[in-house]
Structure 1
Amino acid sequence: MTAAFTFPGQGSQAVGMGKALAEAFPQARAVFDEVDAALSQKLSALMWEGPEADLTLTANAQPALMAVSLAALRVLEAEAGLDLARDAAYVAGHSLGEYSALCAAGAFTIGDAARLLRIRGDAMQKAVPAGEGAMAALLGLEFEAAAAAAAEAAQGEVCQAANDNGGGQVVVSGSRAAVERACEIAKAKGARRALMLPVSAPFHCALMQPAADAMQEALAAIDIKAPVVPVVANVHAAAIQQPEMIRASLVAQVTGTVRWRECVAFMASHGVTTFYEVGAGKVLTGLVRRIAEGAEGVAIGTPDDVAAFKARPRG
């Protein structure tokens, strides 16, 4: 098998996402209904009608993005005969997308995934008082240089590499003043650009420890099954299938670096040549081309994308 199925993270949300799938396919509609029921909230109405500011809230964006990914996956299974156990070498997801990947591979139910992501989103938002944390994208520096800039900028505060996205794109996270210092240090080290990001909290850094504690408690109450396909975990950049290792990696992920560049490189080095991005947006598809030379990225999030997938030769 030469295909991997990947699932996007926060930032890919947009008002209207998933609506065309729900209108065209009952399997998609069923997923949105299941998520609405699990959360006792009409999240689907917020996704399709907005307002955008409410959809962007971490506690809404995380389960919403998972819902779109699983809706698209269920449609691929029904319409194109997709069987991950047969057709995928690996699954992986960027940050919250790891929950989508695990759910897709049968590690836990859609309802459990929705509830976990609501807890995760709430806990991440509450972990740091508004305005005290920040994130910034450093463009044009490789990971080691960006991580060094973050360490130099910390000066007793928290500042660390949060996302290694590949293609010379590294996101740093931590205390606002430290992140601002990291931007200046990165520019001095040759970064092409250093941009403060419009995020509501400093994700994937030590300041998120209260959220990691909340996830440890929440995940302890969930039945996790061995996924039918190995999951390439953010914090390991390697394939895992043991339920207890999955549980521990999801806790570690809250404060740890999303090693996406290494995750994609791992899959490519193990024979993956096509990366299907299932869900909203095309962020991961764009990153694939910068990480794995010669690999193909294919985004699947609309009825037209489903039709194109059905028409593709797969082997």
Structure 2
Amino acid sequence: MPDHHDRLDPAQGETAADLSSGDGKTSANGKAQPAPSVPHPRHDGSAPGPLVLIGGATDPQGDALGCFLHLAGARQGGKIVGITTASANPLHSAQEWTEVFAQAGADNVEIPVIDRRDRAQDRAIAALLRSADGILLGGGDQVQLVSTLGGSRVGRALREAHAAGVVVCGTSAGAAALTETILAGGEPDEYGQMHEMYIGPGFGMLGFRAVIDTHFAQRRRLQRLFMVVAQNPELMGLGIDEDTALVVQGHLGKVVGRGSVTFVDGRGVRFDNAEECMRGEAPLTLSYLRVGIIGARYSFNLQERELENLVRARAHEEETPVVRGERAEEFAARSVAGG
């Protein structure tokens, strides 16, 4: 979604649905009404909900967003709750997302505007998240998103909803924030050197030691992902193209949409000069980094860091039959013995 820099100051708890239609579920003082604190019938709480990780530039009619809407039942009346905190203008972004969802066929949408840390403590907004069928985290600045929501009532409600089975979709910064470790800054210059890269904690809803980069092919971010994995070789980098989703359920992630997902596994790295590169002393040098590309319809085993079809093939491998030759005297002896 486009990002804007002219910050507005809406009433606490105001939603984009209220702004566009005037019939949002708010009280007279502008706060969202608490939803009933009972488990949603669509979520039995037996497993965490799916994660739909989109690389940004989402097409309202595209397969990436469509997958999220399908999992949330949004075109059949399922409730979508949006969070636009990462944006430089959360109110304007909320209005835009409401329009995007309408174009995509989803109209049961509420987006409380959380543009300050104190609003992330709003009990009514936390209850709203727990009542959702699907939660969307929009784009912007992942560090701003995590620092505003982390440890707050809304941040805890987000985690609890996902743990109870609610599907959570993040696009651009919203996707990047869902891992245990987040990446920001550090765009390479014309000589391939990077400066001021930020690596810090995220929401931790996607494990597997993953770190996500978005707008991946479009902004040529392969070297940035190489750098973060070189600095932290245990990490697995996932670079997601625009209008493309990695849909994670359990330990499997399926690629949906127009582009691809690139994975970078640093566990086999034998040499790197990441620290020199970060100090601006030399371009990045890196050896034995494992890299792959996953196209639409293919599934990736996040636990094994490998295409799922290869993992399954290994599990069902049978010993290849081998026909071995005999020495002439052995053959002659066997022939005589056999009559």
TM-score range, shorter chain: under 0.3
Higher strand share: 2
Q: TM-score, normalised by structure 2?
A: 0.26
Would you tell me which structure has more helix in proportion to its own residues?
1
Higher RCO, 1 vs 2 (CA within 8 Å, ≥6 residues apart): 1
Q: TM-score, normalized by length of structure 1?
A: 0.27
